[in-house]
Amino acid sequence: MFPAHARGVSCRALIFCSVLVVAYVRAADPSTEHPRLGQDFRLGSPALAMLWIAPGTFLMSSTHGAGDDTQVTLTRGYWLGRSEVTQAQWQEVMDYVPTPSRFKGSERPVENVAWATAMIFCAKLTERERVAGRLPAGYVYTLPTVAQWEYACRAGTTGIYAGDFMAMAWHDANSGGETHPVAGKQPNAWGLHDMHGNVAEWCADWYGGYPGGRANDPTGVAMGQFRVQRGGGWDASGGSCRSGFRTWSPSNHGGHGIGLRVALAPALAAKPAG
């Protein structure tokens, strides 16, 4: 959490500070398999690169000025997958059951995954790493919250996209009607690939309105009908791939444009699974 004397600092300045922290750590030790706060790491099995996302503040909104702008402060750092979960990673964690994906390929993102099944993947990965002695105290592998996802997607930016959209995203105008191997496009400023396009990514939250004002570590409404997806996919328009855009589906719904990106984040109080 930022100290009291820093709360009057502009949102942009706070974000800039976070960018400096992330950039510094990223160069330090990218090869370790053991998560250490403030450092990137890479699991050997499955081969999964996780990038450290430092605490910070940003403006979260579907459309800035729409009345639901929320100044969000994430008080604890977390890790986020450098890219979307691939079919090879999915099969390794899920005991080599056949991939549900329509577009086959070991390095393509897994898709046609329901929210509930994505959470099973995260639970299995958490247990594997707990048994291996590599799970930081109080952290679990999970889907990112909406706030964690958008903060990482924006990577210090405040515009519609986190950079050059065409250079960063596979979407309806350039995908050729299919997914593509992960990390084939330009990453954002924090090194994350495919935050725009390729497949839409499940988030932990129920779909609901933003609180407005200021919020620390928001996790969405307590109960709802639909779970949130972010980022848009290979079949999405540019407007549906915006940093602030959300869509939603029932938690038992998959789809050929829906996958996941895993987070290693502080464990949240349990909410109804639905």
Please name the residue that has the structure tokens 């994350």. Answer: 192
Six token digits for residue 138: 């109080």
Q: What is the pLDDT of residues 22-45, one digit of tens each?
A: 443 454 445 678 999 999 999 988
* Number of Cβ within a 10 Å radius of residue 62: 15
Output the CA–CA distances (angstroms, integers) from residue 52 to 27, 61, 76, 81, 82, in the order listed. Answer: 11, 23, 11, 9, 10
Q: Which residues is 249 bridged to in the sheet?
A: 227
> What is the C-alpha to C-alpha distance for residues 238 and 7, in angstroms, rounded to an integer?
34
Locate 4 and state its tokens.
Answer: 């009291």
User: Could you report the per-residue pLDDT of 148-179, keeping only the tens digit for each?
Assistant: 999 999 999 999 999 999 999 999 999 999 99
How crowded is residue 127: how many other Cβ atoms within 10 Å of its Cβ? 14
All structural domains of the chain: 4-266 (3.90.1580.10)
Structure confidence by residue, pLDDT tens digits, 47-61 = 999 999 999 999 998
The model's confidence at residue 62, banded by pLDDT at 50, 70 and 90, is: confident
The mean-pLDDT minimum among 3-17, 84-98, 238-252 falls in 3-17
166 versus 20: the higher-pLDDT residue is 166
